[in-house]
Amino acid sequence: MTDTPDRSDEDPDDAIIRATYRALSSHGYADLTMKRIADEYGKSTAAIHYHYDTKDDLLAAFLDFVIGQFKDAVHAVETTDPEERLELLLDQLLVKANDHPDLLIAMLEMRSQAPYNEPFRERFQQNDAYVRYLLETVINQGIDAGVFADADAEHVARVLMTIVDGARARAVVLDQETALSTGRRAAAEYVAATLEHRPEN
Amino acid sequence: MTDTPDRSDEDPDDAIIRATYRALSSHGYADLTMKRIADEYGKSTAAIHYHYDTKDDLLAAFLDFVIGQFKDAVHAVETTDPEERLELLLDQLLVKANDHPDLLIAMLEMRSQAPYNEPFRERFQQNDAYVRYLLETVINQGIDAGVFADADAEHVARVLMTIVDGARARAVVLDQETALSTGRRAAAEYVAATLEHRPEN
């Protein structure tokens, strides 16, 4: 997501999503209003309502956009080597998150609303299932190829996502610059402990 | 925290904190108002404002109460055996949390507001530092006693808290009953990988 000005030939949906991102960055989720998004969009709230009935509809579309960007980044990972691919996935989840600290804050606010907001909850659940599937697949490929030790790939993927979610939350809640790097190191240690071959005793 | 009715001889502060808990459980943080807390308290909002100037003052006091309850529970852990003490601390952090799912939801909402709310942020940071100190202390005791392998106790404590925060967030956001038990298993695996003595190769 770049901060370039909206071009006049840009898709209105894209321009509104980018305006939503800027408004979320400036005001946070709790103080987000259609008026503030419209101000960033440079048009009236009516122009936004023409595309999205409610603020929650727009935010659900915003989540789809963020999740889509993540999927694009993952698809750009071309290596098929299981060890390298797992490392690059963990970098995407725990290192690249540093690039957009204001997005991490807004996402934690939206995540905390999941119990009250079904469209949010569905998107977070689907995205989590998707990322766990990616992790499980690469772990099972490594086990099949003999580069990883035999392990419960489904459980390992869940633990890695627990570390990812914990590190991201701590970066926001505790304002800790080191939270993501601690999480990255923890993920590497957990992978080493569960997936590295150990000498037979 | 119990759901017993307020007794007439109860400390007003305690009664208001309990009313806040019930209002948070019913409405969540985002829809919490002084009026709703007063309804639970059975008195006017003025009676609450006599004790707390603002809703945020009251919620900061509520956080102090929740953190105090956790400290009391930790102090009740009497064993000094490092291995057993570490297990019991992790049970407090990851198993007992199951007892109050509505409190987990409200706490995640308040945690997500930490970037905007300094009194919240200070309390979460202080509580995190306190729990990490407890974990580090018991880990260092175990290392000194020779029951744990030599390790970076400060880092291990940070990783365990990353797992705790991740598991609690996932229990709320993804509505996953298994999130806390996955976190407890991950913590045990991480402790085994970093603190158990390994045979020399």
Instruction: State the CB neighbour count (10 A cutoff) for residue B35.
Output: 11
The pLDDT of B144-168, averaged and rounded, is: 98
> What is the residue extent of each domain of chain B?
80-195
CA count, 13 A, side-chain hemisphere, A187: 29
Inter-chain residue contact B165 with A170, CB threshold 8 Å: yes
Instruction: Choose from A162, A172, A178, A194 for mutation: most chain B CBs within 10 A.
Output: A162
The whole-angstrom separation of Cα B133 and Cα A196 is 31
Contacts of A128 in chain B (CB under 8 A): 170, 174
- Counting other chains too, the contacts that A173-177 makes at CB distance below 8 Å and 24 or more residues apart are A173/A108, A173/B111, A173/B112, A173/B114, A173/B121, A173/B124, A173/B165, A174/B114, A174/B121, A174/B124, A174/B125, A174/B128, A175/B114, A175/B115, A175/B121, A175/B125
Grade residue B150 by pLDDT with cuts at 50, 70 and 90.
very high
Whether residue B188 lies within 8 A of chain A, CB to CB, comes out as no
The two tokens of residue B123 are 């309390």
Helices (H) and strands (E) in chain B, counts: 9, 0
Nearest in space to B101 (alpha carbons), one of B165, B5, B177, B29 = B177
Residue B199 pLDDT exceeds 80: no
| Cα A196-A200-A201 angle, rounded to 5 deg | 130
Under 8 Å CB pairs connecting chains A and B tally to 142
Tens-place pLDDT, residues A155-195: 999 999 999 999 999 999 999 889 999 999 999 999 999 99
A27-84 per-position pLDDT tens digit: 888 889 999 999 999 999 999 999 999 999 999 999 999 999 888 888 888 888 999 9
DSSP secondary structure of B153-174: HHHHHHHHHHHHHHHHHHHHHS
Q: How far is A1 from chain B (nearest CA, A)?
A: 22
Superfamily of domain A81-195: Tetracycline Repressor, domain 2 (1.10.357.10)
pLDDT at A200: 59
CATH topology for the B80-195 domain: Tetracycline Repressor; domain 2 (1.10.357)
Residue B166 is nearest to which of A30, A108, A169, comparing CB atoms? A169
Cα atoms found within 13 Å of the Cα of residue A105, Cβ hemisphere only? 23
ipTM of the complex: 0.92
Which residue among A125, A174, A201 places its CB closest to the CB of B124? A174
A chain contacts of residue B105, beta-carbon cutoff 8 Å:
112, 115
Residue contact A114–B190, C-beta within 8 A: no
**Closest Cβ opposite residue A167 in set B116, B128, B162:** B162
| DSSP code of residue B62 | H
Tell me if A122 sits within 8 A of B122, measured CB to CB. Answer: no
Residue A97 is predicted with a pLDDT of 85
Percent composition of chain B: helix, strand, coil (DSSP 3-state, to 5): 70, 0, 30
DSSP B147: S
Q: Say what the pLDDT of residue B1 is.
A: 47
**Confidence band (pLDDT; 50, 70, 90) for B74?**
confident
* Contact across the interface for B114 and A173, Cβ inside 8 Å: yes
Residues of B in contact with A165 (CB under 8 A): 165-166, 169-170, 173
B162 touches chain A (CB under 8 A): yes
Say how far apart CA A143 and CA A136 lie, in whole Å. Answer: 10
Rg (alpha carbons) of chain B, rounded to whole number: 19
